[in-house]
Structure 1
Amino acid sequence: MRVLVIGGGGREHAIVDACARHRHEVLCTPGNPGIAELARVLPGPQDPDSLARLARDEGADVVIVGPEVYLAAGVVDACASEGISAFGPTRAASRLEGDKAWSKAFMQRHRIPTAAHRAFDDLDAALSHLATLTAPMVIKDAGLKAGKGVTIAHSETEAREALREIFAQSGAQAVIEDFMTGQEVSVLALTDGERYALTPPSQDHKTIHEGDTGPMTGGMGVICPFPVPADLMSQICEQIIEPTLRGLREEGLRFTGVLYAGLMLTPQGPKVVEFNARFGDPEAEAVLPLLESDLAQHALDAARGALDPATVRFGEGASAVVILAAPGYPAEPQRDIPLRIPPVPQGSAVYHAGTRLEGGQLLSAGGRVLAVTATAPALTDALKAAYALARQIDFPGAQRRLDIGHRLGLVPATEV
């Protein structure tokens, strides 16, 4: 079939790769240099109506939407108006990710376990609330922040600074919630709004520095699968995934695509840290290389309300992702750094997250620049292969975490 992928980062490169290996004709807008090796890249306007017309004019059988900003802008709604099947939630349903205050209220309405919290649209009220809390606490910008916009405040002073930064924006909202302890895990469900199939659980590493320190980023590396016992996975499905999909249906919100549940496995059971309405990035670069079945067909089936979960198959192996980020990321990433990627061995991939070509030279063009992925029968071997390939990439000044997998004791720094 003909598939149009919307987006131009590492997640979309992994989506394109998953579709291309099943011999579909893949188009992508706006794409990137890595994607251009697998798909026909189509430049042009990125507003919802233009994208829907592009899908119509190119005869796309299905559109797969990558980044959350397109969902929040209503690209799935625009595709529907053109009669195009799109894998992603409507603008209204994507509010589950795009508005953290609304999302927390949704969880309360449907009794989905999450941290105790309060939402504020006034700085003074938020600052007054801090006086009733004990650090650490979590401060979140309620809007779309590409996986960032979260501060784990270890003092009231740090919390106040985070709130003032949020409310410096016009129309801002903030969520203040209790700090949860436990292992953090990402559980992604491919869904048609009712039926769903889970990807293997994975674990992202959000902060820039080793030991889970430093500023939050969009994600610096992933291990997959993260070991979650079968009984706990059943609990996650029964208490989180299924009530969420049911609640969306009850509220008349059409949600197809990927329901991403970022969870904390607390001593009291699994709780939602936050929901996303699309593939995670860099989780997509970890889970999609393990997908043996046909992503494009699953996307089309889900968009048409006919997903068959029994057809979604993942391999038995493991994957690891190491992100190479630009110097200065996440505050002020340096751009236009020359990059050289060596031949990539079988079982590995280098997904372009923020690159561009100029005169035949590959250059950095973002914060997170490359996602280095390796698969292997065992997670330890996947990690070693990913780090080995990352070391061979010529990227002056690149930042990378040396402890991906450390929460399971998998990668001592002495080995990398």
Structure 2
Amino acid sequence: MTILLLGSGGREHAFAWKMIQSPLCTQLFVAPGNAGTDAIATNVNISPTDFQAIKKLVLEENIEMVVVGPEDPLVQGIFDFFKNDNQLQSIPVIGPSKVGAQLEGSKEFAKEFMVKHRVPTAAYDSFTKETVEKGCRFLETLQPPYVLKADGLAAGKGVLILQNLKEAQQELRNMLVGAKFGQASSKVVIEEFLDGIELSCFVLTDGKNYKILPTAKDYKRIGEGDTGLNTGGMGAISPVPFADAVLMEKIEKRIVIPTVEGLQKDAIPYQGFIFIGLINVKGEPIVIEYNVRMGDPETEVVIPRLKNDLVELFIAVANQKLDEVELEIDSRSATTVMVVSGGYPEDYEKGKEISGIENIEDSIVFHAGTKTENGKVVSNGGRVLAVTSYGKDFQEAIKKSYQNINQLHFDTMYYRKDIGFDLLG
């Protein structure tokens, strides 16, 4: 079948890498893609949110399935766009409906959904510009640190964790009155802080059946020892060593099942991934947030551990027959390390020529922010490459990733040298 994959990051390169291994995938288009997808599929210079251009491509190329990588087209309603168009409605879109995508598109919607369906989560309240002073008073009722979350999409950067009450109150004003995160922070959710260790649980659902994919843990901050600014993710490991059978059973019973059943009860069409950001507080899993797509860089460690044919899984999702599929998972660990542009997540330069990719051995290089220019691969984003490796445990896998990163070079290149540091000992 001919498939269209939307997106341009490391997540999309990992999807493409896996999908082209399927005998069911005869042709793969990626819009807009990157230098990595360009080498294995057909890149098309179309934005994932340009629905009319996507429609034209789908009809011209007889595309039979659309797989959505990033959150923006989902929140903007690409699933509904296809379902409501006579020419497109028979083509499956792997991703939730517009209302389902609100689980990520609105922190308040997600919180209300969790409370309604008794999914364990932190206590919270939400505020607007008009109620900013009420929000400041609410902060006074909490213990530090204080968690402020922009309600809308802020590219993974709309969450502030602050120790000082006065600073938290000032930042709340900056977000609501000063529009620190633009439209995304026109509403802000204030949440109680949970102290524990984070992990990500990924679920693939057809709307009634579900499969739990391998767990992963990512490392968000730019500096070693988890210091400095938040990023889109600097590396990841799978599986999470502390996610034992007892914890996974609690996650399934208390979180996954109520979430999938909640979607059905609320009549929310949902055929795609649910990324559940969790925190393990003294052995009890509590939901921090939902995302409505796979994480990045977690995809670069989860998908390589999946032995199943990914296209076959997507067809099962489209036909609501996921219960007929048995998941097969590679028992090895997988790790990925993100190589980023100097200055990221703040100002950085693009267009730096990348060398050494051809020298990588025993690791997979997934392109994130790259493009092909005059036959050369150059940097085209903050997060540039993800180097993924297998090992008998995450220590062996991470060692391979670091050995192979030594083969890579581009001007101002930076990476964290301590991925997995908190899981040792």
Q: Is the 8 A contact 2:6 2:67 kept in 1?
A: yes
> Which residues in structure 2 correspond to 1:187-336 (within 5 Å)?
187-227=201-241, 228-267=243-282, 269-308=284-323, 310-336=325-351
C-alpha deviation, 1:407, in angstroms: 1.4
* CA 1:347–1:292: 2 relative to 1, 3 Å: farther
Deviations 1:2-43 (A, max 9, x none): 221111111000000010122422111111111011101112
Question: One-letter code of the match for 2:175?
Answer: I
Corresponding residue number in structure 1 for 2:167? 158
TM-fit CA distance, 1:184: 0.5
Residues 122-165 of structure 1: CA distance to partner in whole angstroms, max 9, x if unpaired?
33322222222221121111111222211111112332343234
Q: CA deviation at 1:377?
A: 2.6
Q: State the partner residue of 2:13.
A: 13
- Report matched runs for 1:7-406 at 5 Å: 7-23=7-23, 24=25, 25-46=27-48, 47-80=50-83, 81=85, 82=88, 83-122=90-129, 123-167=132-176, 168-169=178-179, 172-227=186-241, 228-267=243-282, 269-308=284-323, 310-343=325-358, 345=360, 347-406=362-421
Contact 1:324 1:369 survives alignment (8 Å): yes
TM-score by length of 2: 0.92
Query: How large is the Cα RMSD of the aligned pairs?
Result: 1.7
Listed one character per residue, the Cα deviations across residues 215-240 of structure 1 (whole Å, up to 9, x for unaligned) are 11111110100021112111101110
| Greater Cα shift, 333-342 or 348-357 | 333-342
Q: Percent identity?
A: 37
Alpha-carbon distance in structure 2 between the residues aligned to 1:365 and 1:158? 35
Q: Relative to structure 1, is the Cα distance of residues 344 and 127 closer, same or farther in structure 2, using a 3 angstrom cutoff? A: farther
Q: Distance in 2 between matches of 1:50 and 1:342?
A: 33
Shift of 1:347: 4.1
- The 1:225/1:180 distance shift into structure 2, 3 A limit, reads same
Aligned in 2, Cα 1:160/1:360: closer, same or farther, shift over 3 Å?
farther
Contact 2:362 2:400 in 1 (8 A): no
In 1: Cα distance, 2:93 partner to 2:362 partner? 30
Counterpart contact for 1:48–1:74, Cα < 8 Å? no
Whether the 8 Å CA contact 1:52–1:84 is kept in 2: the answer is no
SS of the counterpart of 2:211?
strand
Q: Which runs of 5+ in 2 are unaligned?
A: none
> In structure 2, how many angstroms separate the alpha carbons of the residues matched to 1:71 and 1:401?
31
The residue identity in structure 1 corresponding to 2:55 is A
Return the offset for 1:344.
5.2
Residue segments in structure 1 that go unaligned for 5+ positions in a row: 411-416
